[in-house]
């Protein structure tokens, strides 16, 4: 800390000699605050690295790219600046007041299924043998993901909060042939945030049901019990820190009303935006010490309500009709030890197709009645060693049979799964997952499949 204090004092003295006309007070203060944050981050990095270095090495930071300085109780301003610049160059680009950090996953997977799933490269449900009764083998690279995190200047209007944003996409978009993948937008938003609140506008994850199973599969058991997806929204979050061991998180959002039913079909029904946004909300309680190395428990309750509009060219249905969509959800994450824990979610609601519930069905295509569904998932995770990890669980989505009338309508979908993942390095992971699926249909034979997936993922 003495080095940090001396470096901060030197930086302040170095900036303060400039005339006020050249560097306004607000700009100087913002520059000093940014330098302080950079120095704090560098000190934390040095401390972490020092724990794995010999006493003789601890006098020189491993991230410093220049020649080793003499052992001393201080660094010069030039040395501090060199270390900060070298560290920043490793991970980010600079453009004015903005820091742009690229990241991504080069992600390949190989799958064998005893019966074909929809989609194949990842599974949403198993097809009925009446539609396809053969096995399936897939090798795919479309899970590859690229993105950038943006950190901008602090905004004085919002009490000096940090500004930023994210853009992320993968290659699971529309395609004609599987080796000519289309780009799929995942996230695109701007935000301002601090330790007490967050404001966001753009496309990102839903507020409801925020957890995801520790699967190596791209689709994280959507359609089989895990609901929630990504959509455009205006979102606010408030963090109430009652004590070091108790925090309440309040979240709410106004969302685009998206209709995923009947897309690309000949049912004669077309979805449209409703006249009101879909409203989502969540309250969560975090119990326990927070921060790196801590294991707080988090319990949450969430829900949404809205409506969807439809245009129909079917004799039995009106030309235009509106149907509600709603859900009530619960989520929990409980670390038992540093190596063992359990997490899960529960949901019930209707017209959940766009949230990937109801086995991807929202409104019945014959009666236009919203499909009611209940389900969820639970998972146990365990770290055998710092490099070997496993997750196992069960997930289920069970639509109410009376709300499904189509012969090919899906009335049940579940899966058991277990995986083993090995961290070859901090950036490179390999894993294998085995899952057993069962999908029931209204008036067709059930689909049952054992699915074996191998994954290799290189992150940067």
- Note the pLDDT tens digit of each residue in 217-232: 999 999 999 999 999 9
User: Helix or strand or coil: residue 233?
Assistant: strand
> Can you tell me the distance from the alpha carbon of 162 to that of 456, in angstroms, rounded to the nearest whole number?
35
> Is 124:439 a contact under the CB 8 Å cutoff?
no
> Can you tell me the distance from the alpha carbon of 147 to that of 188, in angstroms, rounded to the nearest whole number?
10
* Distance from the Cα of residue 65 to its chain's centroid: 34
Mark 91-128 as b/e (b = at least 16 C-beta within 10 Å): ebeeeeeebeeeebbbbbbebebebbbbebbbbbbbbb
Q: What predicted TM-score, i.e. pTM, was given to this entire model?
A: 0.78
139 closest CA partner among 163, 161, 174, 113: 113
Tokens of 66: 């220049």
Tokens of 18: 């400039």
In which band, very low, low, confident or very high, does the pLDDT at 260 lie, cut at 50, 70 and 90? confident
Environment class of 304 (CB within 10 Å of its CB; exposed 0-12, middle 13-18, buried 19+): buried
Which of the residue ranges 16-20, 322-326, 394-398 would you say has the lowest mean pLDDT? 16-20
- Mean pLDDT on 73-99: 58
> Can you tell me the distance from the alpha carbon of 300 to that of 228, in angstroms, rounded to the nearest whole number?
14
> Can you tell me the distance from the alpha carbon of 267 to that of 313, in angstroms, rounded to the nearest whole number?
8
In which band, very low, low, confident or very high, does the pLDDT at 8 lie, cut at 50, 70 and 90? very low
Tokens of 247: 């925090």
For residue 266, the model assigns a pLDDT of: 55
- Mean pLDDT on 337-349: 97
Instruction: Specify the higher pLDDT residue, 79 or 35.
Output: 35
237 closest CA partner among 276, 292, 299, 191: 191
Kindly write down the DSSP assignment for every residue of 139-160, as one continuous string.
EE-TT-EEEEEEEEEEEGGGTT
User: Helix or strand or coil: residue 378?
Assistant: strand
In which band, very low, low, confident or very high, does the pLDDT at 34 lie, cut at 50, 70 and 90? low
Q: What pairing do the DSSP bridges indicate for beta strands 246-255 and 230-243?
A: antiparallel
For residue 92, the model assigns a pLDDT of: 75
């Amino acid at each position: 800390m003495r080095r940090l204090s001396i470096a901060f004092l030197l930086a302040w003295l170095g900036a303060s000699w400039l005339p006020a006309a050249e560097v306004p007070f607000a700009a100087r203060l913002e520059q000093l605050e940014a330098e302080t944050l950079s120095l704090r981050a560098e000190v934390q990095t040095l401390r972490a690295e020092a724990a794995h270095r010999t006493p003789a090495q601890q006098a020189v930071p491993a991230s410093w790219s220049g020649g080793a300085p003499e052992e001393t109780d201080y660094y010069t301003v030039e040395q501090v600046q060199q270390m900060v610049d070298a560290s920043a160059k490793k991970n980010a680009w600079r453009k004015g007041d903005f820091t742009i950090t690229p990241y991504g996953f080069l992600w390949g997977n190989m799958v064998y299924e005893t019966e074909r799933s929809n989609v194949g490269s990842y599974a949403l449900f198993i097809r009925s043998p009446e539609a396809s009764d053969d096995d399936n083998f897939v090798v795919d690279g479309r899970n590859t993901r690229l993105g950038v995190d943006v950190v901008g200047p602090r905004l004085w209007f919002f009490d000096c909060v940090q500004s930023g944003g994210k853009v992320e996409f993968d290659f699971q978009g529309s395609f004609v042939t599987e080796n000519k993948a289309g780009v799929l937008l995942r996230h695109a938003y701007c935000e301002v945030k601090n330790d007490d609140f967050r404001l966001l506008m753009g496309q990102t994850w839903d507020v409801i049901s925020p957890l995801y199973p520790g699967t190596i599969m791209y689709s994280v058991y959507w359609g089989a019990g895990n609901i929630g997806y990504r959509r455009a929204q205006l979102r606010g979050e408030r963090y109430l820190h009652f004590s070091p061991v108790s925090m309440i998180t309040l979240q709410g959002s106004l969302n685009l009303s998206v209709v995923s039913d009947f897309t690309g079909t000949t049912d004669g029904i077309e979805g449209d935006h409703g006249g009101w946004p879909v409203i989502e909300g969540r309250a969560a309680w975090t119990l326990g010490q927070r921060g790196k190395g801590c294991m707080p428990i988090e319990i949450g309750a969430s829900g949404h309500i809205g409506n969807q509009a439809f245009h129909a060219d079917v004799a039995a249905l009106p030309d235009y009709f509106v149907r509600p969509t709603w859900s009530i959800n619960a989520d929990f994450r409980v670390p038992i030890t540093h190596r063992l824990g359990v997490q899960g979610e529960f949901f019930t609601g209707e017209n959940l197709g766009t949230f990937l519930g109801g086995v991807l069905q929202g409104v019945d295509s014959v009666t236009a009645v919203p499909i009611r569904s209940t389900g969820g998932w639970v998972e146990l995770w365990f770290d055998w060693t710092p490099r070997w990890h496993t997750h196992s669980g069960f997930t289920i989505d069970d639509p109410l049979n009376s709300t499904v009338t189509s012969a090919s309508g899906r009335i049940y979908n579940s899966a058991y799964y277990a995986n083993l993942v090995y961290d070859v390095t901090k950036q490179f992971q390999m894993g294998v997952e085995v899952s057993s699926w069962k999908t029931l249909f209204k008036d067709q034979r059930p689909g049952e499949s054992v699915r074996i997936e191998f994954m290799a993922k290189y992150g940067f």
